[in-house]
Structure 1
Amino acid sequence: MPNSLFLRVPKKEGEKYRRELSDEGVLRKDAKITSDLSFIYLPISRKFKTNLKILKRLSIPLSKKPRSIEDALKGKLSQSQLASLTKSFDIIGDIAILEIPASLQKHELKIAKAVSAVHPNVKCVCKKTSGMQGKFRIRKVKVLL
């Protein structure tokens, strides 16, 4: 793995520098921000003039969690399948309730795993199997994960 650049900033000023680097387009989004007891190490894409110390590291954690379900499913579903995926879903406590189109029924487990990867607080992923029914407007669901 090639050397990666990090900007070392005091912990108290970490958020200020993170915002500045992000606004300048220097902060890397594919690498994880790390820290120790006194400093935060912000991954940067290139060198620039600063009075802070820029460090080179050999190993950086690149396995950042996906920011959206689409990011988690890239490479697992085709672009047309991703386009047909319903973008919204309900989270009630630690339960996610999805609406999965019929064209994606065979990929429902992949979709459920993607939801739990994006939302680590979700312990149970269900899909809607019926509309609202009865006096109390109850919906039937199938547990996927």
Structure 2
Amino acid sequence: MASACTDSSAAPKPPQSGKAAGSTAAPTAQPSSPPGPERLDQEARDLLHLTDPPSLDEEGFVSSGSLAVPGQNLDETIESGTALRVEVACAGEGTVTFTVVSGTAKTAQRVDCTQPMTSGFDFTTAGPSLAIQADSPQEDKVGTAYKVSHI
């Protein structure tokens, strides 16, 4: 009988070690969760064919990058009256509104992140700076990219 009690007390130990193995399996399952912001930003940069680091040798290149959502990048080296081509892209779930502002000039472009395509528009600066902003109601589910070139 005493050996039966020893056997029954030994039986619960394997499930306890099984629980410990299950807890170590949980962190392994976490990396298979949906892509993070960095991954989504890279997907958006890929849509614009942006390289890391940016190709500064490209003719007409002004700036490029990803934007936090909500967020803004500011370039204070642009001259007023500069004609630019602005290309934007996003990846993920939802939409992003990209807004470009220079002095009194302002253009907004809403982009559907579920569609793997870019959107572009011409923009002429009206001041000595250029601000590119991104905003989205789904800020944790989108990645962004933009590219600005001289026309």
Q: TM-score, normalised by structure 2?
A: 0.30
More strand by share: 2
Using the size of structure 1 for normalisation, the TM-score is 0.31
Whichever of the two has the greater Rg, that structure is 2
